[in-house]
């Protein structure tokens, strides 16, 4: 056995985005020695890209807002498939989490009377998103980092070392969660720069690794989003829930090709931007679904009046939930009414004065000027759908964020599933990170403190993790007759491109049975080839090697998405089937659960073309009556079965 350094911690948080940092702060404040580990530089996590804001019903701009209205909007946005207890906790606790950020030094934009300003966003009944221009994620991360530094300064005063109780391992990747006697015992990691392996021994791991967007060709997501936490959880024996629900944000850049997919924040529409097709028509009025008919303006005049007088008018349909807008744009382009580069037009220039646009949307102004040579104060943008967010994720206990079936494993943020149902409302992720990041840190700390006989990491597992990580350096062809790993070594970049193309084309925004079956076949082929993904050179900063390791994760989560999407024979939220276009009330309470079909990996090692994922169904517990009482019966009829209604 090669020597691998070990360090012992009470709690290890994987990920330094909003969820991970909030969890780490809570665990450290509970007195636990806490390590945070992240792939990128500290402060560079994907959360910094968040633009529009944090949804919290503070009622600063419209005092009618409260947690009940936020809960209602979240359930509607998720088409009632949400784990309702998570949606309840999220709506109740989000305002406190935003206030708390201000006590730690965040400074949000203000209303004229000095309160935290809140902006409109799709699916939110009232202005609800606390924001800092269109750079909210940056302020959130900056504040959480500042809090961490202040805790480290306390530790320096008390123990003489800044990282005595809170240490950040930056530019390091976890490739395995280790288990001993069925419980979490640590994490196997490598330093990206040196390639050195090490183990963080701990009874409690919090996964806060974000999403999976890099499995798709057109995406708003950063390079980190390779589904690592989803895969780590599966490999550790946990379950993923509702992986068929992937959000395609309606407005990504479509031109030039090098920036295709980069996000155009929903704030553009929240602040007055309108969508038009090549005929100049505001086409969203043609796409208001029945379930939302009475809540959205039926004419352009009414929609325009709403910006100044929301009490007496209904909101414009550009502010429908994202899944609706994305489908509408897709349909317009398909019908030949798209913009020159295959999107539609998003115009804010004719709606707001140039100086207001520059003040409210500084990043968008800069982004379009620099990347596309478009001045959004004078001309429309071209936009189209881009893979943005995964609603599915690790199945967790709503209150404690503990992963089902694996003692010591917790998950929060985008890697956790259930909270957003079939479709997330904009702004509800940043609040989710804070609410459930805190809870994950709290309960991971509680769990760690309760473990009196701490498991030690098993040397055999460490050896196996090391061998797995080194495999790309020895990938080469074998005898086709005797091994499924036969064939020439494969280039990980080629495999990644083929995976992204397949997922985009076959399990993308509009899905069909035949295409999803084809996707599963292609994934099987890619899986077999990925075992031969080979790299040259050394372990010192070697991005090709890192990608080879990430491929395992992307292939696992892609299979989850494709299998679950094939199984769910209806259209709902982020899952749209051309061959099953209707939403079916009988599917509402059914969750599709993914787990490893062959946990020991023997069968799939012998034949990698075999599927790795087993699907099962699980019903959501009935929604608590007081929460159901927040809705009109007329509305519930659209979502619940007759049996549920009579109950």
Give the interface with ligand FAD as residue ranges (CB under 6 A): 14-20, 37-40, 45-47, 49-53, 136-137, 173-174, 208-210, 220-221, 224, 228-229, 263, 389, 413-415, 426-430, 433
Q: Is the Cα torsion angle 352, 353, 356, 362 positive or negative in sign?
A: positive
Q: Which tokens is 346 given?
A: 């998003």
Q: Which tokens is 393 given?
A: 């994720």
Burial 248-285 (b: 16+ CB within 10 A, else e): bbbbbbbbeeeebbbbbbbbbbbbbbbbbbeeeebbbb
For ligand FAD, the closer of residues 554 and 564 by Cβ is: 554
Task: Please count the CA atoms within 13 angstroms of the CA of 260 that sit on its side-chain side.
Answer: 13
Minimum CB–partner distance for residue 593 and ligand FAD (Å):
21
- Count other C-beta atoms under 10 Å from residue 468's C-beta: 15
**Active-site residue 165, yes or no?**
no
Residue number of the CB closest to ligand FAD reads 17
Minimum CB–partner distance for residue 453 and ligand FAD (Å):
27
Minimum CB–partner distance for residue 145 and ligand FAD (Å):
12
Minimum CB–partner distance for residue 633 and ligand FAD (Å):
31
For ligand FAD, the closer of residues 88 and 414 by Cβ is: 414
Out of 269, 471, 511, 577, pick the active-site residue. Answer: 269
Tell me the H-state helices in 451-537: 459-470, 492-506, 513-530
Minimum CB–partner distance for residue 40 and ligand FAD (Å):
5
For ligand FAD, the closer of residues 177 and 640 by Cβ is: 177
List beta partners, residue 169: 37
User: Reduced to 3 states, what is the DSSP secondary structure of residue 468?
Assistant: helix
Angle (CA) 370-372-375 rounded to 5° is 75
Minimum CB–partner distance for residue 56 and ligand FAD (Å):
10
Angle between helices 513-530 and 492-506 (to 10 degrees): 170
d(CA 560, CA 564): 6
Out of 249, 276, 439, 531, pick the active-site residue. Answer: 249
Minimum CB–partner distance for residue 639 and ligand FAD (Å):
24
**Active-site residue 249, yes or no?**
yes
Q: CA separation (Å) from 250 to 61, 265, 305, 373, 622?
A: 26, 10, 24, 21, 32
Q: Which tokens is 56 given?
A: 């919290």
Angle between helices 18-29 and 428-450 (to 10 degrees): 40
Minimum CB–partner distance for residue 247 and ligand FAD (Å):
9
Q: Identify the CA nearest to 401 among candidates 442, 454, 455, 429.
A: 442
- Count other C-beta atoms under 10 Å from residue 488's C-beta: 11
Is residue 57 within 8 Å of residue 471, measured between CB atoms? no
Q: DSSP code of 474?
A: G
What positions carry a catalytic annotation?
249, 269
């Amino acid at each position: 056995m090669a020597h691998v350094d070990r360090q012992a911690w009470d709690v290890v948080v994987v990920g330094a985005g909003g969820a991970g940092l909030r969890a780490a702060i809570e665990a450290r404040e509970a007195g636990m020695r806490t390590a945070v580990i992240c792939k990128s530089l500290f402060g560079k996590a994907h959360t910094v890209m968040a633009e529009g804001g944090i949804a919290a019903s503070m009622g600063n701009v419209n005092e009618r807002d409260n947690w009940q209205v936020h809960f209602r909007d979240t359930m509607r946005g998720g088409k009632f498939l949400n784990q309702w207890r998570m949606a309840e906790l999220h709506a109740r606790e989000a305002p406190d989490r935003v206030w708390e950020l201000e006590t730690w030094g965040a400074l949000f934009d203000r209303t004229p009377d000095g309160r935290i300003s809140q902006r409109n966003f799709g699916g939110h009944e009232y202005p609800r998103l606390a924001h800092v221009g269109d750079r909210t994620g940056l302020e959130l991360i900056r504040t959480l980092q500042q809090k961490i530094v202040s805790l480290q300064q306390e530790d320096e005063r008390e123990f003489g070392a800044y990282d005595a109780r809170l240490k950040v391992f930056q530019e390091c990747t976890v490739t395995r969660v280790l288990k001993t006697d069925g419980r979490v015992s640590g994490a196997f990691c490598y330093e990206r720069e040196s390639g050195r392996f090490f183990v963080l021994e701990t009874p409690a791991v919090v996964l806060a690794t974000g999403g999976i967007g890099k499995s798709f060709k057109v995406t708003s997501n950063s390079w980190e989003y390779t589904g690592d936490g989803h895969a780590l959880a599966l490999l550790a024996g946990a379950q993923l829930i509702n992986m068929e629900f992937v959000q395609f944000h309606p407005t990504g850049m479509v031109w030039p090709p090098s920036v295709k997919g980069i996000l155009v924040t929903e704030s553009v529409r929240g602040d007055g931007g309108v969508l038009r097709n090549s005929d100049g028509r505001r086409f969203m009025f043609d796409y208001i679904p029945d379930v939302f008919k009475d809540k959205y303006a039926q004419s352009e005049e009414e929609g325009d009046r709403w910006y100044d007088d929301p009490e007496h008018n209904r909101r414009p349909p550009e502010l429908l939930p994202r899944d609706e807008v994305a489908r509408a744009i897709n349909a317009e382009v398909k019908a030949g009414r798209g913009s020159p580069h295959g999107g539609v037009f998003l115009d804010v220039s004719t709606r707001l004065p140039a100086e207001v646009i520059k003040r409210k949307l500084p990043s968008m102004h800069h982004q379009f000027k620099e990347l596309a040579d478009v001045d959004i104060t004078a001309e429309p943008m071209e936009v189209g759908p881009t893979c943005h967010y995964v609603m599915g994720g690790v199945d967790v206990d709503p209150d404690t964020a503990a992963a089902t079936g694996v003692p010591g494993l917790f998950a929060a943020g985008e890697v956790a599933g259930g909270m957003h149902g079939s479709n997330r409302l904009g702004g509800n992720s940043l609040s989710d990170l804070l609410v459930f990041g805190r809870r994950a840190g709290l309960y991971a700390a509680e769990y760690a403190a309760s473990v009196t006989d701490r498991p030690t990491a098993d040397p055999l597992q460490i050896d196996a993790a090391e061998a797995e990580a080194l495999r790309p350096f020895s990938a080469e062809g074998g005898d086709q007759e005797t091994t499924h790993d036969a064939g020439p070594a494969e280039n990980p970049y080629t495999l990644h491109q083929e995976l992204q193309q397949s997922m985009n084309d076959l399990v993308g925004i509009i899905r069909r049975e035949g295409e999803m079956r084809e996707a599963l076949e292609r994934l099987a082929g890619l899986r077999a080839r990925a075992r031969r993904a080979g790299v040259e050179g050394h372990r010192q900063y070697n991005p090709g090697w890192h990608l080879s390791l990430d491929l395992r994760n992307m292939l696992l989560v892609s299979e989850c998405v494709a299998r679950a999407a094939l199984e769910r024979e209806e259209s709902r939220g982020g899952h749209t089937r051309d061959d099953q276009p209707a939403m079916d009330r009988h599917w509402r309470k059914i969750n599709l659960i993914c787990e490893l079909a062959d946990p020991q990996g023997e069968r799939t090692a012998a034949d990698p073309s075999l599927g790795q994922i087993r699907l099962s169904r699980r019903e959501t517990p009935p929604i608590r009556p007081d929460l159901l009482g927040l809705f009109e019966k007329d509305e519930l009829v659209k979502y619940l079965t007759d049996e549920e209604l009579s109950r």
